[in-house]
């Protein structure tokens, strides 16, 4: 489960995702509860190619939940996203987004102790993680808040992602989209969304140890 990642830089939002970056800055690394950019449709009747970037909180917090819920809702399992109370409204209302990332981090226990590893696209391009977003009118300081979660799939047996997380835990990985899928994902229906819930090929990814200094 991904709880820490590097949001895409300003220039990658403009050149790769073809959106104007949000006005407010964001941190170089994102953890649950942090603000980071997402790419979504600017309005319900948007045409393919029409996208907008906004800042959202990493970790979904519906209008009925305490903001602390973000510490538990930063990942949404694709197997249960349509049924879980925290996620089902966003999923059924087609509130899909791209989460722009330079890379994300996962722990490896191959040495017997957790060592942080960084995973990125092998071609060096920014990564688009499939996500869902939610809106609430009463966020921090009484201001409206957008929040989001990353979608994950089972990764047992995946040549790369099976190396991460505790030995006896289920292996999971985020859903990664290719550029030709961006608009289709943003415009798809819940029935169509399941076609994107696949494991990204290991040859398209690269991983290296990245312990905290």
What digits encode the pLDDT tens for the residues 77-104? Answer: 999 999 999 999 999 999 999 999 999 9
Question: What is the structure's pLDDT at 139?
Answer: 86
Higher pLDDT, 168 or 10: 10
Q: Tell me how far apart the alpha carbons of residues 12 and 136 are, in angstroms, rounded to a whole number.
A: 28
pLDDT band at 167 (very low <50, low <70, confident <90, very high): confident
CA gap 197, 200 in Å, rounded: 9
10 Å Cβ neighbour count for 163? 18
Task: Please state, for a pLDDT cut of 70, what percent of the chain lies above it.
Answer: 100
pTM: predicted TM-score of the whole model, two decimal places: 0.97
pLDDT confidence tier of residue 142, bands split at 50, 70 and 90 = confident
Question: Residue 155 corresponds to which tokens in the numbers above?
Answer: 């990764």
Arithmetic mean of pLDDT, 110-114 = 91
Please report the pLDDT score of residue 108 as a whole number. Answer: 94
Per-residue tokens: 162: 């099976």
Count up the domains in the chain and report the number. Answer: 1
- pLDDT category at 213 given cuts 50, 70, 90 is confident
Selection from 34, 76, 35 nearest residue 193 by Cα: 76
Task: Note down the domain range covering 121.
Answer: 5-209
Whole-angstrom distance, CA of residue 132 vs CA of residue 89:
10
CATH number at residue 12: 3.90.1680.10
Q: Dihedral sign, CA of 68, 69, 72, 73?
A: negative
């Amino acid at each position: 489960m991904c709880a820490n990642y590097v949001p895409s830089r300003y220039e990658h939002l403009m050149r790769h995702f073809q959106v104007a970056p949000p006005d407010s800055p964001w941190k170089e690394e994102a953890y649950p509860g942090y603000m980071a950019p997402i790419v979504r449709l600017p309005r319900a009747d948007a045409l393919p190619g029409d996208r907008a970037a906004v800042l959202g909180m990493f970790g979904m917090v519906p209008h009925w939940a305490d903001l602390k819920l973000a510490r538990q809702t930063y990942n949404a399992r694709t197997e249960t996203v349509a049924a879980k109370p925290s996620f089902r409204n966003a999923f059924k209302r087609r509130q899909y987004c791209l989460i722009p990332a330079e890379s994300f981090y996962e722990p490896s226990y191959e040495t017997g102790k957790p060592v942080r590893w960084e995973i990125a696209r092998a071609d060096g391009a920014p990564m688009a993680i499939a996500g869902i977003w939610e809106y609430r009118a009463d966020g921090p300081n009484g201001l409206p808040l957008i929040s989001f979660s990353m979608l994950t799939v089972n990764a047992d047996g995946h040549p790369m992602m099976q190396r991460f997380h505790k030995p006896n835990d289920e292996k999971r990985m985020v859903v990664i989209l290719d550029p030709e899928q961006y608009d289709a994902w943003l415009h798809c229906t819940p029935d169509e969304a399941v076609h994107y819930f696949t494991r990204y090929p290991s040859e398209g990814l690269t991983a290296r140890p990245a312990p905290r200094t």
